[in-house]
Amino acid sequence: MQPGTLFFQCNICGTLCTIELASLAREAKSCPNCNSSPRTRAVIRTLSSCLFRENLILSEFPIRKDIKGLGLTDAENYASQLKQKFDYVNTYFHQEPRLDIASDSIAPEQRQVYDFIISSEVFEHIVPPVQVAFDNVYQMLRRGGLLLLTVPYGLQPETIEHFPELHEFTLVERDGGCELHNLTKSGVRQTFRNLVFHGGRGSTLEMRVFCYSDLLRLLSAAGFVDVAVHSAPDFRHGIWWPQPWSLPITARKLPAGVRP
């Protein structure tokens, strides 16, 4: 083995993997079996430690059909196993079972029912104002329920909203590229170029780059408590990236009987 080679077990599929540490990045598909990345493995590690206070690989999770969970377009490699372990549903913006987390109203049967909600790489794509999504997740969780959130964020002083006045907009193909045409609420026409798209199906236009302090503010404004950033590396499961940001964040809905 070369110096700088990491030998780890994928906590999603259990495969023993090797990778050059220098090529390990947050989104690097680094398990040859299930294509998991340090980020998706971090989601499972964080879920395990929050639900069971143990760092279990997914196949070792106990079957707990009394725990109700929901994913927002979760990666299929772990969503399929979460369905076996929990009363869990993965939802999508563009296909059934559908959920628009930025919707004006959450259906009554979806309110106060989930023990955990996973939102990984979704909130940076939501049409502004993004606070609605945080408020909706809070509504959907049971008291004491867990939000497990990953988004790309930086340590700059403010969130960078690419299209703060988005109102009526369309994406237009032009000259081999893509433009966003927007009509603001006050009737001003805007055109944006150099759009950033993230990989994956569905609605993947980057709407913003969060800053850390703004994420804390958005969570707090929704009512969340016990906000934690899960920064510890887990080399045993290949969970590490060089940058000290865009780490998994967890927050809880206030338990019953506890005042903010």
- Please report how close the Cβ of residue 42 comes to Zn ion at its closest, in angstroms: 13
Part of the chain binding Zn ion (CB under 5 A), chosen from 13-21, 89-97, 188-196, 212-220: 13-21
Q: Is position 23 an interface residue for Zn ion (rule: CB under 5 A)?
A: no
By beta-carbon proximity to Zn ion, the closer residue of 15 and 131 is 15
What residue type is assigned to position 126 of the chain?
I
- Please report how close the Cβ of residue 50 comes to Zn ion at its closest, in angstroms: 21
In whole angstroms, give the CA distance from residue 34 to residue 20. 18
Q: Is position 205 an interface residue for Zn ion (rule: CB under 5 A)?
A: no
By beta-carbon proximity to Zn ion, the closer residue of 5 and 33 is 33
Q: Is position 34 an interface residue for Zn ion (rule: CB under 5 A)?
A: yes
Part of the chain binding Zn ion (CB under 5 A), chosen from 10-18, 66-74, 182-190, 242-250: 10-18
Q: Is position 247 an interface residue for Zn ion (rule: CB under 5 A)?
A: no
Beta strand segments in the chain, E: 5-9, 16-20, 64-72, 86-91, 114-120, 141-150, 153-154, 160-161, 168-174, 177-183, 189-192, 208-211, 225-229, 249-252
C-alpha closest to that of 81 among 50, 115, 56, 111: 56
What distances in angstroms separate CA 44 from CA 30, 50, 143, 170, 171, one per listed residue? 15, 10, 22, 36, 34
By beta-carbon proximity to Zn ion, the closer residue of 58 and 70 is 58
Residue 77 φ then ψ, to 5°: -60, -35
Question: Site for Zn ion (CB under 5 A): how many residues?
Answer: 8
Given a contact cutoff of 8 angstroms between Cβ atoms, the answer to whether 43 and 78 are in contact is: yes
Q: Is position 42 an interface residue for Zn ion (rule: CB under 5 A)?
A: no
Q: Is position 15 an interface residue for Zn ion (rule: CB under 5 A)?
A: yes
What does the binding site for Zn ion look like in residue numbers (CB under 5 A)? Answer: 10, 12-13, 15, 31, 33-34, 36
